[in-house]
């Protein structure tokens, strides 16, 4: 039997994860992991029976670890982001992590809010005008924002509100970005944008340089990304508003900031 190549093994992992995430009735996390382990053991058994050189016999452990992380993340989605909210219409939040190659990962976040009887938009490309980002006062941002503005009540020692920028996207969508600076030139950004319709974002990262985990801060829960340079990025969705907090600040301070809002 032909020994599976690294590309074939990677495809096996991707297919196993995709089968779990995209299935209409996804199996429990334990069952999916058992299914993956079974396929992996079958491949390892074939390799033992048909050796083809030491360098080719080694299992790419980073791929296996990446697959395990994706399975665990997918298993926690129903806890972190319930698929149906107790409100008019249906709110759906999907966060899917995809293994691209090696340790390269991609995260896609999608938010949909469909009101009863709402007609889906037609296909095609439509150009829209997006307003310029302008500097405003916190009071001006509060009055202009189409949604209740979240403002941190807790700030780490030495930090103050430096600038506030307002950007009208497509009515009635608006983005507000607050920059807070510390006494030692450190800073963090807090961004919020509403999503009355649909929203999607994606970004890539490397497993060797970045870790992703769930977080819970007060009534808020979302994803915490920690980079190799110790900077962090947190994002969560609450009542149709996407929040992002990022900067080189300790995780504990970030949790306190979020809890204070």
Interval 77-105: pLDDT, tens: 333 333 333 333 334 444 445 444 444 44
Q: Please give the mean pLDDT across all residues of the chain.
A: 70
CA distances from 123 to 31, 112, 120, 126 (A): 38, 17, 9, 9
Give 73's pLDDT tier (boundaries 50, 70, 90): very low
The reply to whether 72 and 137 lie within a common domain is: no
Question: What's the distance, Cα to Cα, between the start and end of the chain in Å?
Answer: 60
pLDDT at residue 147, as a whole number: 93
The reply to whether 180 and 65 lie within a common domain is: no
Looking at the 3D structure of the chain, how many domains does it have? 2
pTM more than 0.85? no
Does 236 fall in a domain?
Answer: yes
pLDDT at residue 29, as a whole number: 53
The reply to whether 39 and 143 lie within a common domain is: no
Q: Strand 220-227: give its sheet, edge to edge.
A: 134-136, 160-168, 174-181, 187-194, 241-247, 232-238, 220-227, 210-217
pLDDT at residue 151, as a whole number: 95
Q: Are 254 and 232 in contact (CB under 8 A)?
A: yes
Could you give the percent of the chain with pLDDT greater than 70?
A: 45
Tell me the mean pLDDT in the region 238-259.
Answer: 92
**Highest-confidence segment of 18-22, 52-56, 185-189, 207-211:** 185-189
The reply to whether 228 and 161 lie within a common domain is: yes
Q: Which of 62, 68, 65 is nearest to 33 (CA)?
A: 68
pLDDT at residue 139, as a whole number: 95
For 208, the domain range is 131-259
Interval 225-247: pLDDT, tens: 888 888 999 988 888 888 999 99
| Three state DSSP letters for 9-74 | HHHHHHHHHHHHHHCCCCCCHHHHHHHHHHHHHHHHHHHHHCCCCHHHHCCCHHHHHHHHHHHHHH
The reply to whether 154 and 241 lie within a common domain is: yes
pLDDT at residue 158, as a whole number: 95
Does 124 fall in a domain?
Answer: no
Domain boundary residue among 60, 80, 100? 80
pLDDT at residue 4, as a whole number: 58
Q: Which residues lie closer than 8 Å to 217 by C-beta, 6 or more apart?
A: 254, 255, 258, 259
Measured at the CA of 232, the angle between CA 226 and CA 234, to 5 degrees, comes to: 100
pLDDT at residue 196, as a whole number: 66
How many angstroms separate the CA atoms of 162 and 152, rounded? 13
Interval 172-182: pLDDT, tens: 889 999 999 99
Domain boundary residue among 17, 52, 80? 80
Interval 122-165: pLDDT, tens: 555 445 566 788 999 999 999 999 999 999 999 999 999 999 99
Does 231 fall in a domain?
Answer: yes
The reply to whether 140 and 236 lie within a common domain is: yes
Does 106 fall in a domain?
Answer: no
- Within 115-250, strands assigned E span 134-136, 160-168, 174-181, 187-194, 198-206, 210-217, 220-227, 232-238, 241-247
Q: From the centroid of its chain, how far is CA 46? A: 37
How many angstroms separate the CA atoms of 147 and 127, rounded? 25
How many angstroms separate the CA atoms of 32 and 19, rounded? 9
Does 156 fall in a domain?
Answer: yes
Does 159 fall in a domain?
Answer: yes
């Amino acid at each position: 039997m032909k020994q599976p190549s690294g590309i074939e093994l990677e495809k096996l992992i991707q297919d196993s994860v995709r089968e779990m995430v995209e299935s209409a009735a996804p199996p429990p996390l334990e069952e999916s992991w058992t299914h993956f382990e079974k396929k992996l053991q079958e491949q390892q058994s074939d390799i033992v029976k048909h050796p083809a050189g030491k360098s080719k016999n080694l299992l790419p452990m980073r791929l296996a670890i990446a697959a395990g992380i994706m399975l665990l993340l997918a298993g926690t989605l129903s806890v972190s982001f319930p698929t149906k909210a107790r409100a008019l219409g249906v709110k759906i939040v999907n966060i899917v992590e995809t293994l691209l190659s090696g340790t390269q990962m991609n995260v896609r976040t999608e938010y949909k809010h469909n009101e009863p009887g709402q007609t889906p938009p037609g296909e095609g490309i439509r150009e829209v005008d997006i307003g310029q980002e302008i500097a405003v006062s916190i009071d001006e941002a509060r009055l202009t924002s189409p949604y209740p503005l979240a403002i941190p009540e807790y700030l780490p020692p030495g930090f103050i509100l430096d600038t506030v920028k307002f950007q009208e996207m497509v009515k009635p969508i608006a983005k507000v970005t607050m920059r807070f600076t510390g006494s030692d030139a450190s800073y963090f950004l807090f961004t919020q944008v509403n999503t009355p319709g649909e929203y999607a974002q994606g970004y890539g990262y490397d497993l060797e340089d970045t870790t992703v985990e769930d977080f819970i801060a007060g009534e808020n829960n979302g994803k915490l990304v920690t980079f190799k340079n110790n900077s962090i990025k947190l994002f969560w969705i609450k009542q149709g508003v996407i929040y992002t907090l990022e900067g080189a600040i300790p995780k504990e301070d970030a949790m306190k900031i979020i809890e204070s809002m």
